[in-house]
Amino acid sequence: MSFSDRLAARLLRGGQLLPDGAVSGPVHPLLRLFSRWVRRPLLPALRLWRRNIQLRVVATTLLMSLAVVLLLGVVVVGQVRNGLLTAKAQAAQSQAVGGFEVARKLADGGDENHSDDNSRTASRGTQDSATWLTSLVEQLASGGQGVFSVVALSSDSDEPFGDSTPGTRGPRASGDVDPERSVPVELRRKLDSKSGTFRQYTQIKRIGSNDGMPALIIGKRLNDVNGNQYQLYYLFPFSQEAESLKLVTGTLATAGVFVVILLGAIAWLVVRQVVTPVRMAAGISERLAAGLLQERMKVTGEDDIARLGESFNKMAQNLQLKIQQLEELSRMQRRFVSDVSHELRTPLTTVRMAADVIHEVRDEFDPATARSAELLRGQLDRFESLLAELLEISRFDAGAAALEAEPVDLRDVVNRVIEGAEPLAERKGSRIVVRGAEHPVMAEADPRRVERILRNLVVNAVEHGEGRNVVVRLASAGGRSDGAVAVAVRDYGVGLKPGEATRVFNRFWRADPARARTTGGTGLGLSIAIEDARLHGGWLQAWGEPGGGSQFRLTLPRTAGEKLRGSPIPLEPEDSRRNRGLDEQGRPRPGAGRGASTIPAQPRPGAQHAAARPAAAPPALPPGGSTRVVPQHTPARKGDGARADGTGEDTRPDTVTTGDPVTTDGPGARGGAAATDSTQQETGRDVEREGGRRGH
């Protein structure tokens, strides 16, 4: 961005430009109000200027044409003016020289009847000098009325300049010319000191008026009939030249305006011929993007625009063909998955019945056969869960999923989910803490789908929490029409690495492929969960940091069909490293001491303690508020240094790196639901059926 663009942007925003484009601090309210008042009427014009290329081209053409016309007009008017002045000066010079010659002859007695010296001397003596000057001015000016004026001034310093009464040799002027103000003092002094003809541009002043007329004055010092010196001036006004120049200027201005308008119209038509196909292509592109794949451009002619239209139509045709092929392939895949899932149900039911019969009498078999019967039943449970989730995914892909919304209290849903996850949490050494359950959290939702979402989140949190506590938080905000409810599940386990949040809701994705699955999941749990959330018009979002745990947040509108505007629970929890003022190594970040939170990190399990003490609320919880802890009786694990109560807490700070929080309602954090390991199937069978069959 150039400096002028940045300056205009800063001025439009009411800020002050500082070095390097920085903006100053708070602006005075009056200045902000003034900038807003100036900016508001300019916004529509600026928006139109940015969006309309035809307007920009035409406006640029008009401005450039106007500049060219103005330049040509100035040059032409200047040439005409110089030509008029030159012609006027030449004509005035000839007229003045002729007048000076007539005055000299009259002063010398140029009459043919006075040929001898005696008679010439007698004639001079009988004629008064003042009367002669008056008659001379009248005689010289008689042939140039409206063309020039004549002024005669005395060269005697003793004679008052302004005295023009009869009998004196004061100034004489033809018409109503004011000789005192019309003849420049510099020119008079030059004539007094030098001989010859001189000229100068001046202003003709009229008696009783202060208005001046541009004129050319030509003067010369002569002798009158008595031999006394006087100054004779010819004043040539530029009135006719001014009228001619005005006429030329007006003609050029009128022609220039018509030329500019004509060029603007031509530019508009020419640009329209180019812009119209582009706009047509843009409109067709938008309709193609909206799914109307049969749209095509109208092609006329054989020029570049026509070739562009043909290429565009070929591209659209190829895209339509490819999209149709992909859609057909996708339909075939969905149909295949659905058909296979349905067809496998019949043999699976038969195998299930046989496996149940074998499992019932497993005590009569040898240990190896009994163990095989147990593994067979566990894998059949997993297979049934996989088929159920594949069928659910196929319904989402086909658009056949329906929402059965009804008023539901999310506290009841959370309680059912926690009751089903307690065996797994007890086996993992975790505790599930519920916060915000003191008030009803009502929403219009499908309880079956919401329970499936929360079951996936809670079981995932327990599975990846590494024996630490899992916090489930409920909150609501807003009214019935624009309100929202949210449930957040926070764990303090392995967390998420940067970039994993965008892939967590993908089908069959796991953050660590080498990690053992212990809950019988299929890898489709979060994929189904996000589809359930979207079916409600809600958000399923995730946040995490490597080694610092993660948080999944489900946000639903209070009323089904309403649009969400926000969530009552922040996506990034209060006990994240950034909120606690820690860097990636877990050390205090410079400059973050005053504003950082002091909430401690969730302690790691396995610390050595001298004596066992009762389980307490996790230190990651802020003090106060209503919490419910799901108790469990977990025996101390051998060799890991855990406490006897199974909490596994220690006092070491959490020193893992911080990941970027996820703020979109797209893919979020950890992968799909965990799967079971064959060696652990027996101990987790109840949880496997609860989680696997319901979409974990």
Nearest to 151 by CA among 110, 111, 210, 202: 202
What angle in degrees, to the nearest 10, is found between the helix axes of 685-692 and 410-428?
140
pLDDT of residue 306: 86
pLDDT of residue 153: 86
Token pair recorded at residue 320: 């339509």
pLDDT of residue 647: 35
Among the listed ranges 35-49, 261-275, 313-327, 409-423, which one has the minimum average pLDDT value? 35-49
* Residue 49 pLDDT exceeds 50: yes
pLDDT of residue 610: 33
* Residue 158 pLDDT exceeds 80: no
Which residue has 């993660």 as its token pair?
A: 550
Q: Tell me the pLDDT of the chain averaged across its residues.
A: 74
The answer to whether 155 and 183 are in contact (CB under 8 A) is: no
Sign for the pseudo-dihedral over CA of 64, 67, 72, 75: negative
Pick the residue with more confidence: 32 or 262? Answer: 262
Q: What is the DSSP string of 381-394?
A: HHHHHHHHHHHHHH
Distance, in Å, from the CA atom of 139 to the CA atom of 150, rounded to the nearest integer, reads 10
pLDDT of residue 114: 43
Pick the residue with more confidence: 362 or 27? Answer: 362
* Residue 136 pLDDT exceeds 80: yes
Q: What's the one-letter identity of residue 256? A: G
Sign for the pseudo-dihedral over CA of 512, 518, 523, 525: negative
Question: How many of the other CB atoms lie within 10 Å of CB of 407?
Answer: 12
Summarize pLDDT for 305-347 with one digit per residue, the tens: 888 889 989 998 998 899 889 888 878 877 777 777 777 777 8
Token pair recorded at residue 566: 């926000």
Q: Where are the beta strands (DSSP E) in 429-499?
A: 432-435, 442-445, 470-477, 484-491
pLDDT band, very low/low/confident/very high, at 28 (cuts 50, 70, 90): low
What angle in degrees, to the nearest 10, is found between the helix axes of 129-141 and 53-107?
140
Q: How far is CA 449 from CA 80, 271, 391, 446, 666, in A?
A: 90, 57, 15, 6, 18
Task: Average the pLDDT over 457-485 and give the result.
Answer: 87
* Residue 668 pLDDT exceeds 90: no
**What phi and psi values does residue 500 have, to the nearest 5 degrees?**
-75, -25
Residues contacting 22, CB < 8 A, separation 6+:
none
Angle at 78 between CA 76 and CA 83, to 5 degrees: 95
pLDDT band, very low/low/confident/very high, at 77 (cuts 50, 70, 90): very high
Summarize pLDDT for 546-578 with one digit per residue, the tens: 888 899 999 999 888 888 888 999 988 888 877
Q: Which residues does residue 330 pair with via DSSP β-bridges, in sequence order? A: none
The answer to whether 77-245 and 408-611+618-676 have equal CATH topology is no
Question: How many of the other CB atoms lie within 10 Å of CB of 191?
Answer: 24
**What phi and psi values does residue 59 have, to the nearest 5 degrees?**
-65, -40
* Residue 47 pLDDT exceeds 60: yes
pLDDT band, very low/low/confident/very high, at 27 (cuts 50, 70, 90): low
pLDDT of residue 643: 35
* Residue 660 pLDDT exceeds 50: no
Nearest to 191 by CA among 242, 153, 163, 239: 153
* Residue 285 pLDDT exceeds 50: yes
pLDDT of residue 378: 81
Pick the residue with more confidence: 691 or 279? Answer: 279
Which residue has 């969530």 as its token pair?
A: 567
Question: How many of the other CB atoms lie within 10 Å of CB of 45?
Answer: 10
Q: How far is CA 313 from CA 283, 296, 309, 337, 584, in A?
A: 13, 6, 6, 36, 53
- The edge-to-edge listing of strands for the beta sheet with 549-557 is 539-545, 549-557, 484-491, 470-477, 432-435, 627-630
Token pair recorded at residue 495: 């967390």
Q: What is the pTM of this model?
A: 0.46
Pick the residue with more confidence: 628 or 106? Answer: 106
Question: How many of the other CB atoms lie within 10 Å of CB of 512?
Answer: 12
Q: What is the DSSP string of 653-671?
A: PP-PPPPPPP-SSSS-SS-
pLDDT band, very low/low/confident/very high, at 304 (cuts 50, 70, 90): confident
pLDDT of residue 404: 86
* Residue 111 pLDDT exceeds 50: no
Provide the CATH topology of domain 77-245.
Beta-Lactamase (3.30.450)
Highest mean pLDDT among 71-75, 152-156, 174-178: 71-75
pLDDT of residue 328: 87
Summarize pLDDT for 497-525 with one digit per residue, the tens: 877 777 788 777 766 665 555 555 567 78
Which residue has 């088929």 as its token pair?
A: 387
pLDDT band, very low/low/confident/very high, at 247 (cuts 50, 70, 90): very high
Summarize pLDDT for 344-356 with one digit per residue, the tens: 777 888 888 888 8
Domain 408-611+618-676: what homologous superfamily?
Histidine kinase-like ATPase, C-terminal domain (3.30.565.10)
The answer to whether 413 and 398 are in contact (CB under 8 A) is: no
pLDDT of residue 589: 67
Q: What is the DSSP string of 462-474?
A: HHHSTT--EEEEE
Element (H, E) at 630: strand 627-630
pLDDT band, very low/low/confident/very high, at 162 (cuts 50, 70, 90): very low
Pick the residue with more confidence: 109 or 678? Answer: 109
Distance, in Å, from the CA atom of 63 to the CA atom of 69, rounded to the nearest integer, reads 10
Domain boundaries, the chain: 1-51, 77-245, 408-611+618-676
Label the pairing between strands 442-445 and 549-557. Answer: unpaired
Tell me the percentage of the chain whose pLDDT exceeds 70.
72
pLDDT of residue 438: 87
* Residue 464 pLDDT exceeds 70: yes
